[in-house]
Amino acid sequence: MPAPIISVAQMREWENTSWAAGVSQSAVIRRVGELVARRALQLTRAGDFILILAGQGHNGDDARQSQPHLLDRHAHLLEVTDPVAASPALDPLLARRPALIIDGLFGTGLNRPLDAAWVKLLGQINRAQRPVLAVDIPSGLNADTGAPQPAALVAAVTLTLAAPKNGLLAANAVPFVGRLELAPDFGLTPGTLTSETQWTLPDDFSEFPPPRPVAGHKGTFGHLAIVAGSLGYHGAALLAARAAQRAQPGLITVLPQQNVYPPVAAQLQSAMVQPWDEDLNLKKCSAVLIGPGLAAPDVPLSMRNLARLLWRDSEQPVVVDATALDWLPLHDTGPEASVRVMTPHPGEAARLLQTTTDEVQADRPAALRELSERWGRCWVVLKGHQTLIGRATGEIFINPSGNPQLAQGGSGDVLAGYLAGWLAQPALAADPLTAIRYAVWQHGAAADRLTARCAAWVIEDLIAVLGRVKAR
């Protein structure tokens, strides 16, 4: 199950409930130490020097407990209770350029501004520019607001415990948090807290996609139409189609503009390709994707009208991406229970909402809610760092997978095609939220796998890995 995004007060309530139920605090701390060490081992190599910074309180205890498990690393524990006294000892340790610093100075209990000595110490660590693994939260960050107090460590990875805290997801916290990862299970009683924002876990997809029926045939798994590709942008149609193939719908038909039909048709094999014609009948298709690569100025009015018509009237799932987002009619809901999905990046969201990208990024959930409300309470995939999935009301799901290497042209085309490939399958379209969340998670997880091997990958590599990352 996904994890709720919670406040510090909710986290304290959860902990107190666990202690009252007989859970041992020391056992929990030992388990957290093991999890921190496991992640530290993944981030380093045998023989590396790891510096552990442990302050007062349980956050320091968590960091201390990691040391016994770093057996083939050179791990040095520095107790930091007085920043003035610790600073001289810290300099030679930083000069050794540790492969990793484990940050256990301050936890989520910090709710006051740090004094000048602590600010100076945090600055001393940050200036060393060494990778930091923050335990639960980067030291100095307010766990409810995400604001530095007034300084904070800059982490490469933050391993937060039990559930993400509100402040870790604030826009102002992103430069300090780095990659946010969750250790959900380390001995507390099962959580009962609820939240409108939920953190996706790989386990959420342990049974997705379901096994295919043994008597299934092409018709069982749907027919996806992809309206994509114009002069100068025909590659988007190819990327979307190849990504859709990884979801394995029964049939795929690609409909590019006539002036790019030859290169699109020449590069696709199992997907059918027909030049766009305004008289084409898409009613036999089980889902339609429209938008990738339609940025050329000569895109016909009939194609724009198709997007409006599909959004308003189609019984089938409709996924709209890229340029076609600007063609959608406001406030149309489509037939009852119909599936509508838009997939804007922050710049497109800003354009649709007639605001700025900075304002969208400052409150991404609010931007998602407003987009969904304006366009018929559709599903919205607001792309970017920690992609959001949700609607005007109900839960919003935050996707944890993916990395900056996804910031390449064509990444969005791949996601749109892959997502539409799942929704084209009637049995899966019955639960559109799971299909959408899985597509987004798998897209990011594939990028993570590629980056772990070699950062210099290209979008075509991403398609080859789609679907190969297994949910734990």
Paired residues of 49 in beta bridges: 74
Same-domain pairing of 61 and 168: yes
For 352-389, how does the pLDDT look when each residue is reduced to its tens digit (9 = 90+)?
999 999 999 999 999 999 999 999 999 999 999 999 99
Residues 328/375, Cβ–Cβ less than 8 Å: yes
* Residue 200 maps to a domain: no
Which secondary structure element, helix H or strand E, spans residue 102, and what is its range?
strand 100-104
Q: Rounded to whole angstroms, how far apart are CA atoms 375 and 332?
A: 6
The residue range of the domain holding 172 is 3-194
What residues in the chain have per-residue pLDDT under 70? 472
Residues 385 and 331 grouped into a single domain: yes
Predicted local confidence at residue 1, as pLDDT: 86
Stretch (H or E) spanning 312: helix 301-313
CATH number of the domain where residue 110 is located? 3.40.50.10260
Structure token pair of residue 426:
């009637």
Flag whether 211 is in a domain: no
What are 198's strand-pairing partners?
4, 397
User: Using CA atoms, how far apart are residues 109 and 24, in angstroms rounded to an integer?
Assistant: 20
Residue 363 lies in a domain: yes
Q: Are residues 228 and 164 in the same domain?
A: no
Q: Is residue 377 part of a domain?
A: yes
**pLDDT of 416:** 98
What's the pLDDT at 109? 92
Q: State the angle between helix axes of 411-423 and 234-247 in degrees (0 to 180), rounded to the nearest 10.
A: 40
pLDDT at 191: 79
175 and 224 both lie in a single domain: no
> Is 320 among the domain residues?
yes
Query: Which distant-in-sequence residues (6+ apart) come within 8 Å of 160 by Cβ?
Result: 136, 137, 168, 180, 181, 182, 183
Q: Check whether residue 136 and residue 27 sit in a common domain.
A: yes
| pLDDT the model gives residue 199 | 98
Q: Does any domain span residue 205? A: no
**Domain assignment present for 293:** yes
Q: Going edge to edge, which strands form the sheet with 287-290?
A: 3-4, 197-199, 396-398, 388-390, 379-382, 340-342, 318-320, 287-290, 223-227, 251-254, 272-273
Do both 424 and 369 map to the same domain?
yes
CA distances from 235 to 159, 265, 411 (A): 38, 11, 12
340 and 450 together in one domain: yes
The whole-number pLDDT of residue 447 equals 98
CATH of the domain at 267: 3.40.1190.20
Residues 189 and 234 in one domain: no
The answer on 181 and 97 residing in a single domain is yes
d(CA 59, CA 332): 50
Asked which of 194, 228, 251 is the last residue of a domain, the reply is: 194
* 330 DSSP 8-state letter: T
> Is 307 inside a domain boundary?
yes
Q: How many domains does the chain contain in total? A: 2
Q: Are residues 395 and 256 in the same domain?
A: yes
Q: Looking at the structure, tell me whether residues 190 and 237 fall in a common domain.
A: no
Look up residue 354 and give its two tokens: 């007639």
Torsion, CA 375, CA 205, CA 212, CA 464, rounded to 10? 80
Do 253 and 142 share a structural domain? no
